[in-house]
Amino acid sequence: MTISAAMVVAPQPEAAEAAAVILQNGGNAVDAAVACAFVQGVIDPMNCGLAGFGSMCVFMPSKKVHEYIDFHAPAPKAAREDMWADLIEGETRDGFGFVLKGRVNDVGYQSICVPASLRAYEVAHRRHGRLPWFDIVAQAIEWARSGWTVRPDVHAFWSEGEDMGRVAGYERLKYTKASRLLYCRQDGTPKVVGDLVVNPDLAATLEEIARNGADAFYRGDIAACIDRDMKSNGGLVSADDLAAYEAEILPPLWSSYRGHGVSTNRPPGGGLMLIEMLNVLESFDLRSMAHNSAEYIRTVCEAMKYATADKDRYIGDPKFVDVPVERLASKDYARELAAAIFRGERATVPRFNSGLPSKDTTHVSIVDREGNCVSMTHSLGMPSGVVTEGLGFIYNGCMAVFDPRPARAGSIAPGKARFSSICPSIVFKGGKPYIVVGAPGATQIAMGVLQSILNVIDFDMKMSDAVAAPRFSATSNIIDVTNRILRSETRKLQAEGYEVVRAPQSFGVACVHGIRIMGDTIDGGADPGADGMVISVN
């Protein structure tokens, strides 16, 4: 399989260009994706980085490889199921975490799960990369050393206020002295668009990793520094947690939609939700509905609500929870749910004491000229705000999304990974890759990816139009819509008794980035709600 030109799609121009440079220098899609991820961690530090988590789909037809490198950050060994059971104040409306007294799960040292991203980058490169490891890291080192300018999308996240009970972005940014020195002005406010960020500590950390590999982080001097900082500040992560961490290599979870094969990731990732929604919607003639009409929104949102309720009840880390994958992914079960929607029944999404969530993740989709495809979504969750002095990176805040109530699918357990909506996916047509897609966006990721797939398959949109079309979501009993959804249609939904919340933003509900392949030609779409871009590499 050969393609006329390679393509990179990512939410950050600097990172997309870094991937393009790797492809131009003879690297393959995996090399480019890992190089892109390293740069993303430098120039989008609240969304991703060395101490994050994620999922990476690798499809390499010439090697007969189709696998997922899953790197969901596990809870530290010191975590306990009931450790926060007496601190619960509520659950966020969108289901992306619980609100606890003192926000101990949401920001600070106890919010950190075991860093996973770096180990996965190295595993992917070792298994499938072509260029030397140092070359893969080199551009990120240069961006950290020379500096980068704050972009609009970065500043929007940094400056946003409290959201659905979560700690404000600017509070995370100034949580530790090391983070304040990097990302805030002298008055303590976040740096603004155009301000320069220089991070010599991160450059030194990356240089050590480039010379000595991921073991420098997980077992060497960097690990020792992390361990000291955690012990000094009540963190849960230990040197033993770091040394024990390994990424997982898993086969894809498969389904189909209108004759197309759909490959996505397994629990605790969001692929099962995506498959359930596609299976339900396959029973409906969506093409006959006007795109984003009240009828269309109602139908798709009911599928979203059923999948969300099933996620909350059943989907967790399969090493700890018996996830009914076969049932939730079955066409028969989907037809039962579709029949209920046809009858006008409404799904209910329970919330504990219960806007659109922040984008807190990033993504890259790449196809090289040999037909190798990579779709990788990686994240910090809601970032912890912690930067260890001398290391330069922000840790994940993944403990926030665990359910602090014992005996639940999402309950805390040492070594357990929490559910994430990330679902990097490939849709196949005639046995060949057709859509390579994924998104950041918290609980909205699967919802954004779903609508982009529907836009291509059911409404014949090219990829740029598919990711730019107005989106909506239902991760609770409320329908959230972006501001370009017509009010004439949402009034019809309200007349039917639906509560509709309109965001002031024109874009939102994840931030989808995808590539469409048609024979030897290719087109890409970078979500216009972010700062990203599509680069074609000849």
Q: Which residues are catalytic?
A: 361
Q: Angle of helix 294-314 relative to helix 331-342, nearest 10 degrees?
A: 130
Q: Per DSSP, which regions of 158-208 are E strands?
A: 196-197
How far apart CA 201 and CA 221 sit, in angstroms, is 14
3-state secondary structure of 323: coil
d(CA 106, CA 119): 24
| Cis status of the peptide bond prior to 132, with omega within 30 of 0 | no
CA atoms within 13 A on the CB side of 217: 30
d(CA 352, CA 448): 25
Phi, psi at 353, each rounded to 5°: 55, 30
Q: Are 57 and 374 in contact (CB under 8 A)?
A: yes
Instruction: Count Cβ neighbours within 10 Å for each residue of 126-164 and write b for 16 or more, e otherwise.
Output: eebbbbebebbbbbbbbbbbebbebbebbbbbbbeeebb
C-beta separation of 275 from 444 below 8 A: no
Amino acid 423 reads: C
Are the C-beta atoms of residues 376 and 438 closer than 8 Å to each other?
yes
Parallel/antiparallel/unpaired status of strands 260-264 and 253-257: antiparallel
Strands 472-473 and 253-257: unpaired
